[in-house]
C-alpha cells in the first residue's frame, strides 16, 4: 500500500490556476526527485503533500500513522519566538528519552537505598526501562545530534547560539537537522542543498542513502539527484510524468518518451483527420437526401470531440494508455460534441508535443587573450589581520577551465574579489594576462540596478559597452532569456531569483568577454536553464574560472580543481572524478596510517574469559552508587567550566592563564564522562 496517494489535485490562487489534474502515489521506501520549470507549482504541490496547504480540488490520503516531515525552501522566520540554543532545539526532540534517563537515574539512586522494599522495587523496574531506553538509542542521541550538526556545517561555536539569531541559511540547515534527527516516515524537502557547501552535501547524500523511510525532494542539484533518488517526477501544469532511475537516467528516458509522444501524436492526428473526412462524406450524403448516415456522423463527431479534447489537455499517449471513464474525470470544461466547423478548427490547431520552453544562451569571446590568463606566486588571500588561505603557485592559461571549491567561509568569493583587483593580496602576487576582458557573474547580482526595468537595464548595459541597441532589439534579446511581452517592463527589484539569474546571464552574453569569472552561476536556475548554461559554457571559446557547489557542472566542465582545504589552496590538474579519486585515496591512506599507529601501541592485558551471569543485587547497588557519585562530580565539573568561561569573557587581561585552567578542567570533565560511560555500559 502506498504511504501517500493523491488523486486529481488542483491548486489556484485567486483567478490564477497553478496546476490541475495531478495524480500520484508515494510507495514505501521510494526516493523521488520532483523536477520541472520554475513557476510550474512544485513548491505548491509539496506543501499540499506535507499538509501545510489545502488543495483547491482533489483528494489526498495518507497511510495510517504516517509522520510527514517537511523542509521549506527558506526559513528566515523560523525560531523567531524561541530563546533556545541550537543544541537545545535539537534536544527537544528527545524529551521522552531524557525523561526515561531521569527515571533510570532515580531508580539507580533507589537501588542504593537502605530500605529493602524500595531497592527491590527499583531493581525490578530498572531492567525493562533500561532495555527500552537502550533500544531507542538512549546512549546514542547526543552523538547523533553532534554528528548531524557537524555534518550540516555547524561549527561547535554555533551550538550555544540562540537559534533565532541564526542567518536565514543557517536556520534552514537547523530545520533540516531537526528533521533528520526526528526520522519521519516520509521526508519532503524543498531545495535542501541551497545553503550547503560540498562537504555538507556529501554528508547529506550519505545520510539520505541510508534513510529508512520514503523521500520526496525538490532540487535543482543534478549531482545530488543522481546520488539520492531512484525515480524522477517531472511536473507539468496538468500531470506528473514518472521516470525510473536517477537524474541521468531520466535525461535519456525523457528524450525517448518525447520521440514516442511525437510519433503517437502524428498517428492519432492522421486518424482523426481521416475520421473528419468520413464525417464530411456522411453529412454530404445527408444533404443528398439519405438520412441513414446522420446517426453515424453524430456518433463519430462525438468521439472525435472527445479524442481532440484528450490530446489538447492530456496528450496523445493518454488515448492509448487509459480508459475513457478515467480520462473523462481528468478533463476540464464541457465534453459536449462540437459542430463540424468547430471540430475542423480545433483539429487543425493541434500541435505536436514540444520540450518545455528553454532560454537560448550563446557565450563568445570577441577577441583572443594572451596565453597566460591568471598567474599566482607565493599568494596569501584575506584581510589585514585575518588571512584566509595561502596557495600553491599556479597558472591558468587560455581556454583552460578551472573550478574553485571549498567550504562556506573558506575565502572563495574573497579570492574572486582579489582577482578582480577589488582588494589586494596579503602577500605574493595574483596577476592577470594581456588583452584580457573579464566577464563577471556575481552570486548576489550586485551589478543589477533595482531602480531600472529589465529592458532599461539591458539597454543601459549595451550603451555602457558601446553597443547600439534599440528597444526592439532589446526585447528580441530578452525573449531568448524567457522575458516576453510585459515581462520586459518588470522592475529589477521585483524579479525572482531565477529571473535575476537569467537577466544576469543575458548581460554577461553582451560582454563578449574572453575570461568568464562565475560565482555560483546555477543558483536559482531551474534544471532546464542549468542545462542551457552548461551547453553554452562547453561551447565557449574563452577561459573559465568557476566557483560553484554544482558538482554536475564542475564534473562536465572543469579541467582543473582548485580546492581550499585547511587554509591552503591546492591545485589538482584533472577532472572532478579524478580529483575525488585522489582525495579518497589520500583519506584512505591517512586512515590506514592511523590504524597502523594504533596497532603498534601495546595492547591491554587480555581479560580472563568468564561466564556471563546476571549481576547480584549488591553489584547493581554498587553500580548505581558509583554512577550517582560520577554524576555529582560531572555536574560540579560543568559548573566550574561555566564559571571559567564567564571569567574569560569578563577578564580579557587574564585570558591566557584562564584558558589553561579551562583546558585542564575540560580534560578532567572528559575523563569523568568516560568513566560514567564505562560504568553505565
Predicted pLDDT at 147 = 94
Domain coordinates of the chain in residue numbers?
1-79+166-245, 88-158, 256-349, 372-583, 618-680
- Specify the pLDDT at position 469: 93
* Residue 246 pLDDT > 60: yes
Has residue 207 got a pLDDT over 70? yes
Measured CA to CA, the distance from residue 79 to residue 73 in angstroms comes to: 15
pLDDT attached to residue 670: 66
- Are the beta carbons of 304 and 278 closer than 8 angstroms? no
Burial of 374 (0-12, 13-18, 19+ CB in 10 A): buried
Cell numbers for 199: 562537504
Phi, psi of 538 (to 5 degrees): -65, -30
Nearest to 552 by CA among 224, 232, 249: 224
Higher pLDDT among residues 16 and 678, named by residue: 16
Question: Scanning the structure block, which residue is given the C-alpha cell 560565482?
Answer: 519
φ, ψ of residue 4 in degrees (nearest 5): -145, 135
Residue labelled with grid coordinates 582579489: 418
Q: What is the mean pLDDT of residues 512-531?
A: 92
Residue 65: partners with Cβ closer than 8 Å, 6 or more residues away: 185
Q: Return the SS3 of 351.
A: coil
For the cut 80, the answer to whether the pLDDT of residue 284 exceeds it is no
What's the pTM value of the predicted model, to 2 decimals?
Answer: 0.76
Fold adopted by 372-583 = Rossmann fold (3.40.50)
Residue 431 phi, psi dihedral angles, 5° rounding: -110, 145
- pLDDT value at residue 313: 87
Q: What is the C-alpha separation between 575 and 557, in angstroms, rounded? A: 8
Rounded Cα distance between 346 and 308, Å, is 7
At residue 607 the predicted structure's pLDDT band, cuts being 50, 70 and 90, is very low
% of the chain surpassing 90 pLDDT: 56
**What letter does residue 128 receive in the DSSP assignment?**
H
Q: Helix, strand, coil % (nearest 5) of the chain? A: 50, 20, 30
- How much is the pLDDT for 305? 92
pLDDT tier at 627, thresholds 50, 70, 90: low
Percent of the chain with pLDDT over 70: 89
pLDDT for residue 265 is more than 90: yes
The H or E element that residue 525 is part of is none
- Give the separation between CA 65 and CA 200, rounded to whole angstroms: 31
Identify whether the C-beta of residue 30 lies closer than 8 Å to the C-beta of residue 230: yes
The band of 614, judged by pLDDT with boundaries at 50, 70 and 90, is: very low
Q: Which residue has the higher pLDDT, 35 or 110?
A: 35
Three cell numbers, residue 465: 559597452
Question: Dmax over Cα atoms in the chain, in whole Å?
Answer: 115
Phi and psi torsions of 457, nearest 5°: -60, -40
**In whole angstroms, what is the distance from residue 201 CA to residue 406 CA?**
12
Extract the C-alpha cell encoding 575: 577532472
pLDDT of residue 383: 93
Is the separation of the CB atoms in 536 and 362 below 8 Å? Answer: yes
**DSSP at 39:** T
Phi, psi angle pair for 469, to nearest 5°: -145, 120
Per DSSP bridges, beta strands 231-236 and 57-62 are unpaired
Specify the CATH number of the domain 1-79+166-245: 3.40.50.300
50-85: burial string, b at 16+ Cβ within 10 Å, e else: beeeebbebeeebeeeeebbbbbeebeebbeeeeeb
Same topology between domain 1-79+166-245 and domain 372-583: yes
Rounded to the nearest 10 degrees, what angle do helices 471-479 and 454-464 cross at?
110
State residue 608's pLDDT score. Answer: 44
Res 396: pLDDT: 96
How far is it, in rounded angstroms, from Cα 81 to Cα 69? 21
What residues contact residue 41 under an 8 Å CB cut-off, 6+ apart?
11, 18, 19, 235, 237
At 651, the pLDDT band (50, 70, 90 cuts) reads low
* Grid coordinates belonging to 583: 582525495
SS3 168: helix
Lowest mean per-residue pLDDT among 73-77, 172-176, 298-302: 73-77
- The torsion angles phi and psi of 31, rounded to 5 degrees, stand at -125, 100
**pLDDT of 663 strictly over 80:** no
Give the count of beta carbons closer than 10 Å to the beta carbon of residue 210: 6
Cα separations in angstroms, 462 against 182, 439, 510: 53, 14, 7
Which residues lie across from 7 on neighbouring strands? Answer: 59
- How do 372-383 and 386-391 pair as beta strands? antiparallel
Encode pLDDT of 111-141 as tens digits.
777 788 888 888 888 888 888 888 888 888 8
Mean pLDDT of 440-448: 87
Which pLDDT tens digit goes with each residue over 35-61? Answer: 988 888 999 999 999 999 999 999 999
Locus of grid cell 560543568:
638
- Distance, C-alpha 251 to centroid of its chain: 19
For residue 59, give the 3-state DSSP assignment: strand
Are 405 and 575 within 8 A, CB to CB?
A: no
Which position has the grid cell 522592475? 491
- Residue of higher predicted confidence among 652 and 161: 161
Strand partners, 217: 33, 189
Give the cell for residue 230. 531512484
Amino acid at each position: 500500500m502506498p504511504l501517500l496517494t493523491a488523486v486529481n489535485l488542483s491548486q489556484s490562487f485567486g483567478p490564477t490556476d497553478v496546476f490541475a489534474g495531478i495524480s500520484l502515489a508515494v510507495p514505501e521506501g521510494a526516493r523521488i526527485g520532483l523536477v520541472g520549470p520554475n513557476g510550474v507549482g512544485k513548491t505548491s504541490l509539496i506543501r499540499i503533500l506535507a499538509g501545510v496547504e489545502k488543495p483547491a480540488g482533489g483528494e489526498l490520503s495518507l497511510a495510517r500513522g504516517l509522520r510527514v516531515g517537511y523542509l521549506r525552501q527558506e526559513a528566515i522566520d523560523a525560531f523567531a519566538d524561541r530563546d533556545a540554543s541550537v543544541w537545545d532545539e535539537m534536544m527537544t526532540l528527545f524529551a521522552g528519552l531524557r525523561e526515561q534517563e531521569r527515571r533510570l537515574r532515580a531508580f539507580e539512586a533507589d537501588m542504593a537505598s537502605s530500605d529493602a522494599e524500595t531497592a527491590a522495587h527499583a531493581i525490578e523496574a530498572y531492567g525493562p526501562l533500561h532495555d527500552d531506553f537502550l533500544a531507542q538509542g538512549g546512549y546514542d542521541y547526543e552523538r547523533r545530534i553532534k554528528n548531524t550538526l557537524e555534518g550540516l556545517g555547524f561549527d561547535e561555536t554555533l551550538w550555544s547560539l540562540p537559534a533565532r539569531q541564526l542567518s536565514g541559511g543557517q536556520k534552514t540547515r537547523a530545520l533540516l537537522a531537526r528533521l533528520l534527527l526526528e526520522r519521519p516516515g516520509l521526508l519532503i524537502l524543498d531545495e535542501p542543498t541551497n545553503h550547503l557547501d560540498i562537504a555538507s552535501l556529501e554528508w547529506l547524500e550519505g545520510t539520505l542513502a541510508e534513510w529508512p523511510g520514503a523521500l520526496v525532494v525538490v532540487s535543482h542539484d543534478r549531482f545530488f539527484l543522481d546520488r539520492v533518488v531512484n525515480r524522477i517526477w517531472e511536473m507539468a501544469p496538468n500531470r506528473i510524468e514518472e521516470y525510473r532511475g536517477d537524474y541521468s537516467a531520466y535525461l535519456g528516458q525523457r528524450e525517448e518518451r518525447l520521440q514516442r509522444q511525437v510519433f503517437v501524436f502524428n498517428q492519432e492526428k492522421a486518424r482523426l483527420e481521416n475520421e473528419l473526412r468520413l464525417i464530411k462524406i456522411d453529412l454530404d450524403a445527408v444533404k443528398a437526401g439519405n438520412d441513414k448516415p446522420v446517426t453515424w456522423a453524430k456518433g463519430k463527431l462525438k468521439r472525435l470531440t472527445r479524442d481532440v479534447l484528450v490530446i489538447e489537455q492530456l496528450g496523445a499517449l493518454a488515448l492509448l494508455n487509459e480508459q475513457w471513464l478515467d480520462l473523462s474525470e481528468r478533463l476540464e470544461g464541457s465534453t459536449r460534441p462540437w459542430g463540424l466547423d468547430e471540430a475542423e478548427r480545433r483539429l487543425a490547431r493541434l500541435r505536436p508535443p514540444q520540450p518545455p520552453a528553454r532560454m537560448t544562451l550563446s557565450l563568445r569571446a570577441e577577441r583572443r587573450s594572451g596565453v597566460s590568463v591568471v598567474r599566482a606566486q607565493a599568494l596569501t588571500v584575506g584581510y589585514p589581520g585575518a588571512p584566509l588561505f595561502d596557495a600553491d603557485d599556479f597558472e591558468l592559461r587560455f581556454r583552460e577551465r578551472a573550478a574553485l571549491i571549498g567550504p562556506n567561509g573558506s575565502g572563495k568569493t574573497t579570492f574572486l574579489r582579489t582577482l578582480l583587483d577589488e582588494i589586494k593580496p596579503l602577500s605574493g602576487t595574483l596577476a592577470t594576462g594581456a588583452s584580457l576582458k573579464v566577464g563577471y557573474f556575481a552570486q548576489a547580482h550586485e551589478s543589477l540596478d533595482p531602480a531600472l526595468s529589465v529592458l532599461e537595464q539591458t539597454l543601459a548595459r549595451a550603451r555602457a559597452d558601446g553597443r547600439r541597441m534599440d528597444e526592439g532589439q532589446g526585447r528580441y534579446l530578452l525573449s531568448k532569456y524567457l522575458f516576453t511581452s510585459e515581462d520586459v517592463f518588470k522592475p529589477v527589484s521585483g524579479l525572482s531569483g531565477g529571473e535575476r539569474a537569467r537577466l544576469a546571464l543575458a548581460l554577461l552574453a553582451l560582454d563578449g568577454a574572453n575570461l568568464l569569472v562565475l560565482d555560483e552561476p546555477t543558483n536559482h536556475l531551474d534544471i532546464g536553464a542549468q542545462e542551457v548554461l552548461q551547453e553554452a559554457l562547453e561551447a565557449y571559446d574563452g577561459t573559465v574560472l568557476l566557483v560553484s557547489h554544482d558538482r554536475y557542472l564542475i564534473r562536465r566542465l572543469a579541467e582543473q580543481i582548485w580546492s581550499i582545504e585547511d587554509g591552503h589552496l591546492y591545485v589538482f590538474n584533472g577532472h572532478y572524478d579524478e580529483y575525488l579519486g585522489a582525495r579518497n585515496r589520500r583519506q584512505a591512506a591517512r586512515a590506514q596510517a592511523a590504524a597502523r599507529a594504533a596497532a603498534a601501541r601495546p595492547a591491554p592485558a587480555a581479560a580472563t574469559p568468564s561466564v556471563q551471569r546476571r549481576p547480584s543485587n549488591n553489584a547493581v547497588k554498587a553500580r548505581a552508587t558509583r554512577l550517582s557519585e560520577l554524576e555529582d562530580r560531572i555536574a560540579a565539573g560543568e559548573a566550574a567550566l561555566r564559571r571559567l568561561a564567564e571569567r574569560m569573557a569578563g577578564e580579557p587581561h587574564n585570558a591566557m592563564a584562564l584558558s589553561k585552567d579551562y583546558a585542564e578542567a575540560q580534560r578532567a570533565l572528559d575523563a569523568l564522562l568516560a568513566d560514567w560511560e564505562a560504568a553505565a555500559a
